[in-house]
Structure 1
């Protein structure tokens, strides 16, 4: 993908938050998402930079309530992340969280709890893997233990509600 020539500033926010089954015949604002996906290289070499604009945008989309859109952008970053790398594990956990947040919006709390549990499993696997010292990758700047604690607290509740969604960007500020 090439970066559109008209894209010189910050990425625009989607015109609406897509919620499957709730936004009627209106599809997702794919034109806006395509701008972010165009920033993702075919392959990241070594690691995914913590400050990569598509990564930061995907996290910010989640935090602004664009959960479906966040998942779409983060999946593009995940696909380009080094195979077998720690960033792929962390990105998969973030994708699960964005998807769980979407399920909470759709009032599917059991599905959301399952996805939060999947994210927790990924984060525990990430923490158990050997870290590389001194990197500037996404995984080195992300406080996975804090997110593990937050997920455990959410999953310890008897029932999840829309208010239980999890922000990712605030957790990962470096």
Structure 2
């Protein structure tokens, strides 16, 4: 499932990947430098360049699924209700959750989340970039996740 071998410059590497029920989460303050890259003045077309978006995408592919959700949530809050951008952010958050459920050995929950991601992506236009991503690209990530579920 890994697409990146290292995180982008300036994106901190979490000291561990939190898994619910197994240990302690990172303090909220750990995420603040990333989250602060998005504020009430951040325009929709600026979101793909924010540290929060870049970290969220990198964390998704590097196996930091809980951490991905933590930083993408602030991006989600800056997207308009009913927009393709909101659906795209929500799709990545849910894909991270699906991958986390896979790691927790909960394949049915992961499969259900993958179906939700497909539905969210179905509301996005496939003929243009949405926050720097194309729908077929993200569908490929979903397919990779689903393949892991059936390989068990």
Q: Same fold (TM over 0.5)?
A: yes
- C-alpha RMSD of matched pairs (Å): 2.6
Change (3 A) 1:126 1:66: same
The corresponding residue for 1:143 is 134
Q: Higher helix fraction: Structure 1 or Structure 2?
A: 2
CA distance in structure 1 between the partners assigned to 2:94 and 2:45 by the alignment: 20
- Give the alignment's TM-score, normalised by structure 2: 0.80
Question: Which of these two proteins has the greater Rg computed from alpha carbons?
Answer: 1
Which consecutive segments of 4 or more residues in structure 1 shift more than 6 A?
A: none
| Count of matched residue positions in the alignment of Structure 1 and Structure 2 | 144
Is residue 113–residue 160 contact of structure 1 (8 Å, CA) maintained in 2? Answer: no
Deviations 1:140-174 (A, max 9, x none): 6312123325535754787365xxxxxxxxxxxxx
CA distance in structure 1 between the partners assigned to 2:28 and 2:62 by the alignment: 17
| CA shift for structure 1 position 68 | 0.3
The corresponding residue for 2:117 is 119
Gaps of 5+ in 1: 1-8, 132-137, 162-174
- Give the alignment's TM-score, normalised by structure 1: 0.71
| CA shift for structure 1 position 21 | 0.3
The corresponding residue for 1:13 is 13
Deviations 1:115-138 (A, max 9, x none): 01100000011137x86xxxxxx6
Give yes or no for the alignment of 1:81 onto 2:43.
no
Helix, strand or coil at the partner of 1:139: coil
